[in-house]
Amino acid sequence: MFKGIFITFEGGEGSGKSTHSRLLAAWLRRRGRRVLHTREPGGTVIGSKLRRILLDSKPGSMDAVVELLLYEASRSVLVNEVIRPALKAGKVVILDRFQDSTWVYQGFAGGMDRKLVEQLGKISTGGLQPDRTILLDIPARQGLSRVRRPNRMEAKPVSFHEKVRRGYLHLAKTNKKRIRLIRADRPMAEVQEAVRKAVGNVLR
């Protein structure tokens, strides 16, 4: 039996996380691997309900504190009900967003204390860390131009999304062993090839 492998995709809006995580999952299945592909927030009944609340584009008050607690609640359920059992069964788990997103969006860009974000993350995940994180990088304005129907997070000011990008680049510099930075402002085939190379060594 293969060892369970945990791969996460991160990046700003319009960077292609959903597309490339799905393409990687399909490629691995063709190569005989058992794959679980899911996303955050979501992946469970509770997570799907919280996703609708968090991304609702209708006007409403929700500051970084509320966002932080709701994201971590969704994450805790997903880790315990879905991710850990799949890893224990030897599957490759591919997840669209994980704790890095919260550190960047609610911490670095949202102004929450980053150490507090990290502490809550450890509680909600039980200390679970990805084996490899793919960070798809694209200039904020270019990424947002790909978004057709903005949700609440996507509709935040460009200045917020530029700060999100700076936060991700900071994480990439300080977590070089885990995070692989991939330019996403290239043809899809080139990006996907880079993604497959980036996960190659953790899959062996």
Residue 55 has pLDDT above 70, yes or no: yes
For residue 187, is the peptide bond before it cis, meaning its omega torsion is within 30 degrees of 0? no
Provide the pLDDT for residue 142: 97
Share of the chain above pLDDT 90, in %: 87
pLDDT digits 0-9 by tens, 96-116: 999 999 999 999 999 999 999
Q: What is the pTM of this model?
A: 0.94
Residue 92: count other Cβ atoms within 10 Å of its Cβ: 25
Q: Are 12 and 161 contacting, i.e. CB atoms less than 8 angstroms apart?
A: yes
Alpha-carbon distance 87 to 52, whole Å?
27
What CATH number labels 5-203? Answer: 3.40.50.300
Residue-wise pLDDT for 128-150, tens only, equals: 999 999 999 999 999 999 998 89
Are the CB atoms for 130 and 4 separated by under 8 Å?
Answer: no
Please report the pLDDT score of residue 147 as a whole number: 94
A 10 A CB-CB count for 186 gives 14
DSSP track, 8-24: EEEESTTS-HHHHHHHH
